[in-house]
Structure 1
Amino acid sequence: MTHTQGSRRLRRSALVAAAAFAVVAGGVGAAPGAGAATPVTPKLKLVAASTSVTADRYDGDTGVYLDLGAYLTADKAPFELRVTRKSYKDPVVVAQVTRGGSKTVTKKLPAGLVKDFAGLPGFLQVTITDSKGVKVASTSDTFCPNSASGRIRPDAPATSPYPDGCSDNPFTLGSVWGVQKGWAAAASQGIGPDGGVDLKAGTYTAKISVAKKYRDVFGIPNDQPTVKVTVRTVQDGSGAARSRLSAALPGGQPRAGSAPGTLRAAAHRPTGAAGVPSNVPKPDLRALPAYGIAITDGSDGGEGDAPATGTDYLAFSATVWDAGPAPLVVDGFRTPGKEKMDAYQYFYDAKGKQVGYTPTGTMEWDPRVGHQHWHFSDFASYRLLSSDKKLIVRSGKEAFCLANTDAIDYTVKNANWHPNNTDLATACGEHSALSVREVLDVGNGDTYSQYRPGQSFDISKLANGTYYIQVIANPDHRLKESSYGNNVALRKVILGGTPGHRTVKVPAYELVNAP
């Protein structure tokens, strides 16, 4: 099964090799803006890149995708926010961080300013009037400071330490958002609901501004740039339009990653006696509760599997993440002519030097459509339990290609804000490969969506009632970890309906109300 497509992916190439985790952790301490004797507050400003834009309304679409070219610029110092929650029983809170010299000041912002990790909700306010000055639409947009960004002047720092994108994984625990000094971040990611803004062909004026509550909190002036919007009607393009719209709107962005081959396995199998020093940093794999839970008929996935008529499946997404302090690094080596690779887990000291390894099972090639890459065996296991938490159904999914699909907690020690392998194309290998390296970086999670028959749970013959989806990380403890006590997560579900028309209710998980 493919990894989830819902989360915003981290797309910037890593600054160092994934194994050298200790170096990446310095991203916060090395944040620009140091040098002043006291912490410096950034000067923020809303700007429009152009005075006019053109939007196409495709035949059959219900709205127009609007990219107004609105940006938030940061000057004098970086604009940095820390977004966290202590646990899933606690609300999401946000604090602004300013620096000067060796001094760092963290200022808590008003409670309720953010409710999740997708960005600052309602940050950008947009009012649209027609050629006669009559208001025809008003909308708002969430602002992710980690969105598409770049320098606004030639003397600005050449790189930004901040991550790319904001997380829409409902079980994210900690994020770092920021706009580098002398940089701008896109405040307009595509305005409007899934159908876009309902504007007919014609000429309009869009007035953009920052919501007052954010102006007050961050000291942003009340600038209100205007942008001329010309809407054109395009015939016979509904299919292309929908594809374009889904790719542009938040949550529908296609994944991209580093160039294939940036993470390479060692040239040869390890030599000498296998061993893991007792004091070496190890990864801490943690399972998160399932989400994205739904009933399907098994027709999703496109593998060619023909589900039986009237068959009901319980589909879901599941994430396993690495809380650190070390990355999970697994290399596979193939003996020529063999169909499986021997897998080894590697260990590094605080300076990123390899200090140990241990055999850890196998990797196998999956030739099915939608896979076609090397899977590491026994990374996770999914099970459906009865109300008394006894095994009912076990998912057929047991082997995985590791990829950093979701930023789960970028505030943990040694978190890598710029992982290399963010999708299956970056580290899973070709069939002809002799070796493969797969990495799960600190602070990052690997999410799989279980929608295909054999991976989702066949519930056709199950009685209505209460069940639990169980997600298990490292089920056989083949991988060496710092702790095995957080490898299991449960999510309660309630099945109802009739055969062929089954229903599922998903109660909130503490304060996380995401089915």
Structure 2
Amino acid sequence: MTDPLKKRRRRSRLMTYGAVAVALGLTAAGVSVAQAAATPPTLSFVAATSKVTAERYNYDGEIYFSFDLGLHVIAGKDPLEIWAKRTGYDKPIVAERTVVKNGKKTKVALPAGMVTDFSGLKDFTTISIADQAGRVVTEYKTSFCGNTWSSGRTRPDAPAANPYPTSCGDYNPFTLGAVWGVQAGWDAAVADQPRLADGQEFDLPVGEYTATATVNPVYRELFGIPQNQATAKVEVSVVDAETDRAGLARAKAADARVAAVEKPDEHSIHTAEGDAKRQVSAYVPELRAPAKRPTPLKATPKGGPRPDLRSLPAWEISLSTEDGKTYVNFGATVWNAGTSPLLVDGFRRTGTDLMDAYQYFFDAKGNQVGSRPAGTMEWDPREGHLHWHFTDFAQYNLLDSTQKLAVRSGKEAFCLANTDAVDFTIPNAKWRPENTDLSTSCGANTVIAVREVLDIGNGDTYSQYRPGQSFEITDLPNGTYYIQTLANPENKLAELDTTNNSSLRQIILGGTPDKRTLTVPPVHGIKG
């Protein structure tokens, strides 16, 4: 497991705003709340408030900038829904918009160039920031996908639940398909900071500014945003904040928690909101496992829905050293492309830190129809873990140039959680999974049973940033090696297909014993 506050990509903080704040934004944009409810446009673009304060922390030259303009999009009488998919990693992403015509849903292709990755609609917004003299100090474009944990209902007649995912799906470089959406009458925050290279941070000096955010013309026309509602201005006061180390730490922790909620990844910890169940999904199992084994235990059904575990190539590969030893660190993802969730219940052996694990099966209507033994779960008492690990989910191996085992990773047990949206366009994909964090997925040492689930379309990612979860290569000779991610290594889990359980990622070790080098060739054209 990784520290949820360690090695996180910079994300825009999409804060939660209530209906009152959104109503203020609507009024500022020249549309009354009554008018908005009576004749809402397809999309509205608003600012929640006309003035914000941005806090700039400076501790011995270490700058941290907390910035949020409060920009939102609000869907009209119908949801905004976009499906983006690629048929292969070397193929372009094709995006379609779901349009309601005469009460029926149809898919309409978006113009080429609008979607080039899984971060959302490219260059949706232009943001220009000027100083008090009116001089533009920075201008940039931001993308928009609509998915966010902080979305809220903005008018009384809007639907009660939001079915859309909570993140854009752009974290994993091997994402295949994403669904982006804004529920009818609900809002979605708009990114207000540029996407910068790793290690770079967005910053403004202390002072007074005016930020002008505009939806770019191609999207105004496509989504029917009235021209007089396509621009929002926000006064920004950048102030010196607390400069003590504790104050800086609090600010970073607060923003990291929001970022983790907005972009759940690699077993980040967050508090999940209630899940809006999708009508198209037949599988909505409760997260809590039964306290004891069902009696009698039904056998594995011969047919019916099954999970299909697939391994993605290793990613975010790097070298590290500790205590004179050298390690290869990497991220590894196993995802479920099947017709059923992978659901494993663990039942504790009384007085021990071991559970017996069982895989459960469901029919097409979501009824439980059978189960089978699936190995064990064990309590992991190490700092940063402190939860139950399923021991038969995956295995990581470093293979030599002949693809024979050279080193086996110390990571041998896993807490299942839906950390990555790998392909939400496949049938019955779970767009808003419940178990996205360890606190709800893997249990405490005081439980007698635990349920771990990998839903359809979702992946479970582990980043290897600890010696026990990486390959030690201190004494390995230079040369070509392969990182193998292997799902269901002992075939204890029943699934649709086991031929796609293994993936290989080539790496090349070089250099000297005191200064090793690492080369990672692209796979399928992807460098991640």
Matched to 2:115, the amino acid is V
Q: Which moved more, 1:393-402 or 1:504-513?
A: 504-513
The Cα shift of 1:409 comes to: 0.9
Q: Which structure 2 residues correspond to residues 363-512 of structure 1 after superposition, within 5 A? A: 363-512=377-526
Matched to 2:470, the amino acid is S
Matched to 2:204, the amino acid is L
Residue 313 (str. 1) matches residue 316 (str. 2) = no
Aligned identity (percent) is 50
Aligned to 2:190: 187
Aligned to 1:212: 217
Aligned to 1:292: 316
Task: Note if contact 1:3-1:405 (Cα within 8 Å) is conserved in structure 2.
Answer: no
Task: Note if contact 1:4-1:449 (Cα within 8 Å) is conserved in structure 2.
Answer: no
Matched to 1:68, the amino acid is L
Query: Deviations for 1:67-92, whole angstroms, at most 9, x for unmatched residues?
Result: 11111121132111001011212122
Secondary structure of 2:73's match? strand
- In structure 2, relative to structure 1, the CA distance for the partners of 1:437 and 1:248 (3 Å cut) is closer
Secondary structure of 2:461's match? strand
The Cα shift of 1:132 comes to: 1.3
Task: Note if contact 2:55-2:67 (Cα within 8 Å) is conserved in structure 1.
Answer: no
Query: Deviations for 1:110-159, whole angstroms, at most 9, x for unmatched residues?
Result: 23322221222332211111111111121232323112322221111121
Q: Which has the larger helix fraction?
A: 2
- In structure 2, relative to structure 1, the CA distance for the partners of 1:251 and 1:296 (3 Å cut) is farther
Distance of 2:296 and 2:85 partners within structure 1: 44
Aligned to 1:150: 152
Aligned to 1:269: 293
Distance of 1:445 and 1:86 partners within structure 2: 18
Secondary structure of 2:441's match? coil
Residue 77 (str. 1) matches residue 91 (str. 2) = no
- In structure 2, relative to structure 1, the CA distance for the partners of 1:491 and 1:78 (3 Å cut) is same
Matched to 2:239, the amino acid is R
The Cα shift of 1:63 comes to: 5.9
Task: Note if contact 2:43-2:224 (Cα within 8 Å) is conserved in structure 1.
Answer: yes
TM-score by length of 1: 0.86
Task: Note if contact 2:481-2:508 (Cα within 8 Å) is conserved in structure 1.
Answer: yes
Aligned to 1:358: 372
Distance of 1:242 and 1:372 partners within structure 2: 24
The Cα shift of 1:471 comes to: 0.4
Aligned to 1:97: 98
Distance of 1:241 and 1:508 partners within structure 2: 37
- In structure 2, relative to structure 1, the CA distance for the partners of 1:203 and 1:444 (3 Å cut) is same
Higher relative contact order, chain-length normalized (CA < 8 Å, sep 6+): 1
Distance of 2:138 and 2:249 partners within structure 1: 25
For the aligned residue pairs, the C-alpha RMSD in angstroms reads: 2.6
Residue 231 (str. 1) matches residue 233 (str. 2) = no
Secondary structure of 1:215's match? helix
Task: Note if contact 1:3-1:448 (Cα within 8 Å) is conserved in structure 2.
Answer: no
Matched to 1:495, the amino acid is L
Task: Note if contact 2:4-2:269 (Cα within 8 Å) is conserved in structure 1.
Answer: no
The Cα shift of 1:196 comes to: 4.4
Count of matched residue positions in the alignment of Structure 1 and Structure 2: 473
Matched to 2:55, the amino acid is D
Distance of 1:371 and 1:64 partners within structure 2: 31
The Cα shift of 1:322 comes to: 0.8
Task: Note if contact 1:63-1:199 (Cα within 8 Å) is conserved in structure 2.
Answer: no
Distance of 1:130 and 1:273 partners within structure 2: 70
The Cα shift of 1:172 comes to: 1.0
Q: Which structure 2 residues correspond to residues 107-122 of structure 1 after superposition, within 5 A? A: 107-122=108-123
Aligned to 1:282: 306
Distance of 2:425 and 2:443 partners within structure 1: 31
Matched to 1:462, the amino acid is L
The Cα shift of 1:241 comes to: 4.1
TM-score by length of 2: 0.84
The Cα shift of 1:433 comes to: 1.6
The Cα shift of 1:266 comes to: 1.6
Matched to 2:304, the amino acid is V
Secondary structure of 2:55's match? strand
Distance of 1:150 and 1:99 partners within structure 2: 22
Secondary structure of 2:332's match? strand
Distance of 1:431 and 1:350 partners within structure 2: 34
Residue 177 (str. 1) matches residue 180 (str. 2) = yes
Task: Note if contact 2:166-2:263 (Cα within 8 Å) is conserved in structure 1.
Answer: no
Partner residue of 1:348 out of 362, 373, 383: 362
Query: Deviations for 1:138-196, whole angstroms, at most 9, x for unmatched residues?
Result: 12323231123222211111211111111211111111100111122101355564654
Secondary structure of 1:412's match? coil
Matched to 1:224, the amino acid is T
Task: Note if contact 2:131-2:208 (Cα within 8 Å) is conserved in structure 1.
Answer: yes
Distance of 1:82 and 1:465 partners within structure 2: 42
- In structure 2, relative to structure 1, the CA distance for the partners of 1:423 and 1:49 (3 Å cut) is same
